[in-house]
Amino acid sequence: MHHVRVDQWSRGSSPLHTRDPRAKILALLVFLIVLATTPANAAITLAIDSALLLAGIMIAGLPLAGLLLRAMVVLPFSLTFGLLSWLVGDRWRAIGLVEKSYLSAVAVLLIIGVTTLPALLTGLERLGAPRMFVLVAQFLYRYLFVISEQAQHMRLAAASRQGNPHIHRKGRFRAAAGALAVLFARSYYRAEGIHRAMLARAFTGRFPLLDSQHFRPADAVFAFAISAFLILVRIQ
Amino acid sequence: MTPIIEVRDLHFQYEDGTKALDGINFTLHEGETVALFGPNGSGKTTFVLHLNGILRGPGSITICGIPLTKESLPEVRSRIGIVFQDSDEQLFMPTVLEDAAFGPLNLGLSAEQALARAKSALDQVGLGHAIGKAPYHLSAGEKKRAALAGVLAMNPEVLVLDEPNTFLDPPGRGNLIQLLQTLPQAKLIITHDAFLAAALAGRAVFFESGKLVADGPVNEIVQQYGWGYPALPADLRYSAQRRF
C-alpha cells in the first residue's frame, strides 16, 4: 500500500512540524482571511504573501515542485469561474479568483504537509470544531487507507482476469460498478465490525479524549507573529 | 477452581432464521486456556460475542461471578477483553497510543491514568516504540500486538482471541505464541491451528452446527475430529514428473 505523499511529508521534524496544530490552524485562518480581502491588483501584498508561503515550504523542507503541482488541483474550478468573469468583462475578478484560490491551496497544503491529520483534527476540535465533524473526518481518514487498499486488490484481481484492456469497454464499466457495490457492502460490514470492537472496549456512545497537545508560549508567539505580519502587510 | 465463565443452555438465532447456537453449556476456570475448534460457521465467534453482551440470546451467562444483564454490561466488558480477527476493525483511533487508551478512558479513568495503562500495555506487547504511529503504518504482526495492547490496557481477567494468527507469517505467529504464553489471564482462543492451540491451551472444545459437541484435552480433540494437518500422503506429494 502506497500511502499518500502528503501524509509522509507531515511526519517531518522541522520547526514548523513541531508547532502546536492550533497555532498553525490560527495562522492559516488569518492568512486565508487576509488573502480573501486583498484586492486582486495589490501585487506587492500578494507577492509578500507568496514569499511567506515559499519561506514556510523551505523551512519545513517540503518539496517545492511537488507541493506547487499538487496545489494546482484547484485550478480547473477557479479557471472555469475566472474565465466566466473574464467573459463578462471583469478582468481583475478573474485574475483574483485564480491567484487567490491557488495561493489558498498552497497555504492549506503547507499546513497539512507539516501537521499529521490526527493532530490537525485534534487541533480543530480544541479550537471548537463540532465533535461530530471531527469524528467523521477521523474515521474517514483512518479507513480510507483500508478501503483504498481493498479497491486496489480488486482492481488487480479484475486486471488479472482481463484480456485485451482496449476491448469490452462496456464490460469494464459494468465490472467497475460491481466492484463499487462490493466495496460499499464491505464498508458497511466493516463499520459493523468496528462498532462491535468499540462496544467490546466499553464504548458507551461518548468518545473519550486524550489531550496530548500542549500549547506552549512559542506557539502563541508563532501564531501572533504570523497573524500580525499578515495584517500589517494587508493594511499598508 | 472458581469458574470465571459459566454459560448455561445458551441459544441464539440470527434475524434470517439461522440457528447459530443451540443449547451451549461451557465453563472456563481461572487461569485456564481453552481452544475453540470447529468448522467455519459452526458458532464459535457468535458464542464469544455473547460473553460480553454484544449479542444476546436466551440462556444464562456468568462472568467472574457476575450474571450478564443489561445493567452489568460495563462491569462485564471490563473483565472480558476480546481481540478480534481483523485488527483493522479494532484499531480505529488515529494513533497506537490513543487506541490503547480508548478502553481505559471508557472505563472512566482519568487521561493520565489511561495514558499510563496504555503505555504499560504497549510496552508489554513490545510496541513501546510505536506509540505515535498511525495504525496503518504497522505491519500485520504489529497490528495484532497493538490490538492486544488495547485490550490488555483494560486489565481484563479473561482474554478472548478470535483467530489470533490470521495474516501472520510463521515468525509472527511464533512471536505471538511467545507473547501469549507470558500473559497470566484465562484465555479462550478461537483457532483452526492445532499447533497454536497445543502451544497455548490444555483443553479444547469442538463446535458443530451451533452445538458444543466435544470437550477434552487438545490432542484428543484434534485426533478425534482430524483437526490437525496430517503428514502428506504419498499420492499428494509434489512430484516433478506428475502431469496435473
How many CB contacts within 8 angstroms connect chain A with chain B?
91
Instruction: Inspect the interface and report whether the beta carbons of B111 and A145 lie closer than 8 Å.
Output: no
Instruction: Inspect the interface and report whether the beta carbons of B114 and A210 lie closer than 8 Å.
Output: yes
pLDDT at residue B187 greater than cutoff 90? yes
Residues 130 through 169 of chain B touching chain A, CB cutoff 8 Å: 134-137, 150-151, 154
**Mean pLDDT within A47-60:** 95
pLDDT at residue B66 greater than cutoff 50? yes
B101: chain A residues, CB-CB within 8 Å: 208, 210
pLDDT at B219: 93
d(C-alpha A13, C-alpha B92), whole Å: 25
* Banded model confidence at residue A28, pLDDT cuts 50, 70, 90: very high
Q: B83 at the A interface (CB within 8 A)?
A: no
d(C-alpha B20, C-alpha B208), whole Å: 10
The pTM of this model reads: 0.73
Residue positions counted in chain B: 244
CA–CA distances in Å: residue B59 to residues A226, B16, B28, B47, B53: 65, 20, 17, 12, 12
pLDDT at A1: 42
Find all residues with CB under 8 Å of B178, minimum gap 6, and list them: none
pLDDT at A2: 41
**Mean pLDDT within B54-60:** 94
d(C-alpha A178, C-alpha A166), whole Å: 19
Q: State pLDDT tens for residues A88-109.
A: 888 888 999 999 999 999 999 9
The alpha carbon of residue B106 is apart from the nearest alpha carbon of chain A, in Å, by 6
pLDDT at A165: 59
Instruction: Inspect the interface and report whether the beta carbons of A204 and B106 lie closer than 8 Å.
Output: yes
pLDDT at A235: 86
Of A64-73, A97-106, A196-205, B227-236, the one with minimum mean pLDDT is B227-236
Instruction: Inspect the interface and report whether the beta carbons of A142 and B105 lie closer than 8 Å.
Output: no
Of A43-52, A126-135, B14-23, the one with minimum mean pLDDT is A126-135
B138: chain A residues, CB-CB within 8 Å: none
Q: In what order do the strands lie in the sheet with B66-67?
A: B19-29, B3-13, B60-63, B66-67
Q: Residues A105, A4: contact at Cβ < 8 Å?
A: no
Find all residues with CB under 8 Å of A196, minimum gap 6, and list them: B49, B54, B84, B89
**For B106, which of A1, A143, A208 is closest by C-beta distance?**
A208
pLDDT at residue A5 greater than cutoff 60? yes
- Please determine, for the modelled complex, whether the ipTM score is greater than 0.85: no
pLDDT at A110: 96
Domain assignments of chain A as residue spans, ordered by start = 5-126+211-235, 131-162+169-200
Residue B201 DSSP one-character state: -
Q: B244 at the A interface (CB within 8 A)?
A: no
pLDDT at A168: 66
Helices A43-60, A217-235: axis angle to 10 degrees equals 160
The position carrying cell 470492537 is A197
The alpha carbon of residue A137 is apart from the nearest alpha carbon of chain B, in Å, by 11
pLDDT at A116: 84
B78: chain A residues, CB-CB within 8 Å: 202
pLDDT at A211: 63
A199: chain B residues, CB-CB within 8 Å: 52, 54, 77
Query: Which chain B residue shows the shortest CA-CA distance from A143?
Result: B92
In single-letter form, the type of residue at position B181 comes to Q
A191: chain B residues, CB-CB within 8 Å: none
**Mean pLDDT within A119-130:** 87
Residue positions counted in chain A: 236
Residue of A31, A52, A22, A23 lying closest to A223 (CA atoms): A23
pLDDT at A187: 87
pLDDT at B5: 95
Instruction: Inspect the interface and report whether the beta carbons of A141 and B94 lie closer than 8 Å.
Output: yes
**Mean pLDDT within A188-199:** 89
Instruction: Inspect the interface and report whether the beta carbons of B92 and A142 lie closer than 8 Å.
Output: yes
Q: A167 at the B interface (CB within 8 A)?
A: no
**Mean pLDDT within A126-142:** 84
Instruction: Inspect the interface and report whether the beta carbons of B94 and A204 lie closer than 8 Å.
Output: no
pLDDT at B243: 61
The alpha carbon of residue B244 is apart from the nearest alpha carbon of chain A, in Å, by 22
pLDDT at residue A3 greater than cutoff 60? no
pLDDT at A131: 82
